[in-house]
Amino acid sequence: MNVPELELVCPAGTPAALRAAVDAGAHTVYCGFADETNARNFPGLNFSRDEMAAGAAYAHGAGSKLLVAINTFPRAGAEEIWHRAVDDAQAAGADAVILADLGLLAYAAEHRPGLRRHLSVQAAAANADAITFYAETFGVKRVVLPRVLSVEEITAINRDIDVETEVFVFGGLCVMAEGRCSLSSYATGRSPNMSGACSPASHVVYTEEQGELVSRLGNFTIHKVPRDAPAPYPTLCKGCFSAGGQTGHVFEDPMSLDAAELIPRLAEAGVTALKIEGRQRSRAYVSAVVKSFRRATDAIAAGRPVPVSELAHLTEGQSSTLGAYRKNWR
């Protein structure tokens, strides 16, 4: 079956990571401003206005595109911060902005109509009707699909919509519908939807208790491991809890997504772009992942089989999952 070339959309948390991604063959990079307007608002990450403009110039010079994620939900009384981010993304030369909030989409459509709009995964548009609503109301051209859908469902959605779809293929995996989770806020008071950081490091405490290393988020124990074992970061939904007489990873094992083997099926499903998660990751990580996936998309474009993924050592917890793409994940 003849399939069009897939666009590889790669994370860039810093200008150095951006250059690494572009040099490694990213068709597109995505970044955010260094503030609460993007969903990876971690200390030391993201771009100033000048860095964004330089990043866009670097990407464009290599024939790549740059997307700016402004995908948190503006705080009441402070929408101006998010509006300015949209304005500044256009001024920096972004090829598109990635948005989630209805009010912000309306602002961008009205005030920056020439700036292409993508719908963030944070909007969790999980079916053709929701996607068509965003396309008709705000002129959204591409939708990043939430990680709750199987390949079969993605195929069906693409049959019913007139806009592009982008799907995650590698990296961290939200087990909840994205943008619709306040677990971290419940434990810490900081809302990922508004501040852009889930299970924030500011609220993480590691202590040693009775020979065990305990990691807490706010007042709540998320993991306990033997003192000499590597301590997992206490991401709330990947934690170890007790329920119904069982103890374990009630929500999700500490796995990350690796859907490399599904790329041919995703291409057949009509997906336009493959997204790699990890704006918080190092330059070396980004470079290795981008090169590997670029080999895969090139292989598909040339009609060759996809090379076997060599990325197992990069996935967190050394194990990976196909997530919701496989129906029995549910």
Partner 1 sequence: MRLTLGPVFYNWPADQWSDFYAGIADEAPVDRVVIGEVVCSKRLPFYQDHIPKAVERLQRGGKEVVLASLGLVTLPRERKMLSDLAESGLPVEVNDLTMLRHLKPGTRFTVGPLVNVYNEGTLGLLAGRGATTVCLPPELGFASVAALTAEGLRLGAEIEIWAFGRLPLAISGRCYHARLAGLTKDSCQFVCDADPDGLAVETLDGQPFLAVNGVQTVSECWANLVGDLTRLAEVGVGSLRLSPHTGDMTEVARLFRSAADSRIGPDEAIAGLAALAPERRFSNGFLFGQFGAEWTH
> Given the rule CB under 8 A, which residues bind partner 1?
73-79, 100-104, 106-107, 124-130, 132-133, 146-149, 153, 156, 175-177, 179-183, 185-189, 191, 193-194, 218-224, 237, 240-244, 246-247, 250-252, 324, 327-330
Residue 77, burial from CB neighbour count under 10 angstroms (0-12, 13-18, 19+)? exposed
Nearest distance in Å: CB 45, partner 1: 23
Q: How far is the CB of 34 from partner 1 (least distance, A)?
A: 21
- What's the min distance (Å) between Cβ of 168 and partner 1? 13
Smaller CB distance to partner 1: residue 6 or 198? 198
CA distances from 5 to 132, 158, 160, 191, 289 (A): 24, 16, 21, 38, 18
CB of 135 to partner 1, least distance (A): 10
Nearer to partner 1, 8 or 123 (CB): 123
Shorter beta-carbon distance to partner 1: residue 102 or 299 = 102
Number of CB atoms found within 10 A of residue 175's CB: 20
Closest CA to 209 of 198, 219, 223, 195: 223
| Residues linked to residue 29 through DSSP beta bridges, in sequence order | 10, 66
Cβ 159 vs Cβ 152: under 8 Å:
no
Which residue, 60 or 75, has its beta carbon nearer to partner 1?
Answer: 75
Are 179 and 147 in contact by the 8 Å Cβ rule? The answer is no
Instruction: Kindly tell me which of 304 and 327 has the beta carbon lying closer to partner 1.
Output: 327
How far apart are CB 319 and partner 1 at their closest, in Å? 17
Q: Listing from the earlier edge strand, what are the strands of the sheet with 220-226?
A: 204-209, 212-217, 220-226
Please, what is the minimum distance in Å from the beta carbon of residue 129 to partner 1? 4
Encoded amino acid at 150, one letter: S
Q: Smaller CB distance to partner 1: residue 104 or 269?
A: 104
The residues, any chain, with a CB within 8 Å of residue 242's CB and separated by 6 or more, are: none
Distance CA 252, CA 321 (A): 10
